[in-house]
Amino acid sequence: MAEGKKVIVITGASAGIGAAAAELLAGKGHSIALVARRREALDAVVAKYGANALGVTADVTRKGELHRVLRETIARFGRVDVWINNVGQGISRQPSELTDQDIDEVIRVNVKSALYGMQVVLPHFKERNDGHIINISSMLGRIPFAVIRSAYVGAKHFLNALTATMREEVQATHPGIQISLVSPGVVRTDFGLNALHGGPDSRELPNSQSAEEVAEVIAWVVDTRVPDAYTRKGARDRVVSYFQSTGADPDK
């Protein structure tokens, strides 16, 4: 493997942001292990990159299957340097209408998949005091501006908190390991069409961006290891403005 090139695991890699990230990172010479549930779609992506890529069919909401992903990646490439938790699913339902099943499913897909990924790869990283986890979140994990996405908003806030607390825990003993968060806005993928209970097509919503634009930011995070990144200019200012407008100081 060429000097400076990394072995990168990407979950949710058969389409959308994951597939776009795979194309960009493979193009930079990194070795990539791509993970998805749909074998046929995954094979079509992996076929583009030859020996530089490994495809692993797995359900990332099952920790045992993520252990298999890690084993197969190490068997093929010798190690893992970066693990990108990219699996997620939307849900369209007002908060007053949410059911137990809604909550369980959105947590299973959006939170447990990332938590399990972190827990599975951390021992491998700790052996070397080196490694990088990147969790793909959402602007909805910062600002709850889409009421119809209520449970998804909550799940992404949960993911953000897990990312920050896991980073603090791990870096107390293994400062060479970084855990980063990337927060896209609306992305022109099948996300909206695949939401539980239906939903608007993300491609038709205003102020959207392409999966390729998000992939560019993910690649930048791989290179820089920054702990927190947005994918659109002005997004951070928007978050700050939101909290300034909603916060109240009792002494003023």
Pair of tokens at residue 31: 């070795």
Count other Cβ atoms within 10 Å, centred on residue 13.
28
49 labelled catalytic: no
CA dist 121 to 9, 21, 39, 48, 67, Å? 10, 20, 23, 26, 8
Q: Which of 12, 2, 5, 20 is nearest to 214 (CA)?
A: 20
What dihedral angle (degrees, nearest 10) is formed by the CA atoms of 6, 76, 66, 149? Answer: 50
In whole angstroms, give the CA distance from residue 82 to residue 224.
12
If we measure between CA atoms, which residue out of 142, 117, 121 comes closest to residue 228?
Answer: 142
CB 219 within 8 A of CB 24: yes
> How many Å separate Cα 136 from the centre of its chain?
2
Annotated catalytic residue, options 49, 152, 230, 242: 152
- Residues involved in catalysis: 152
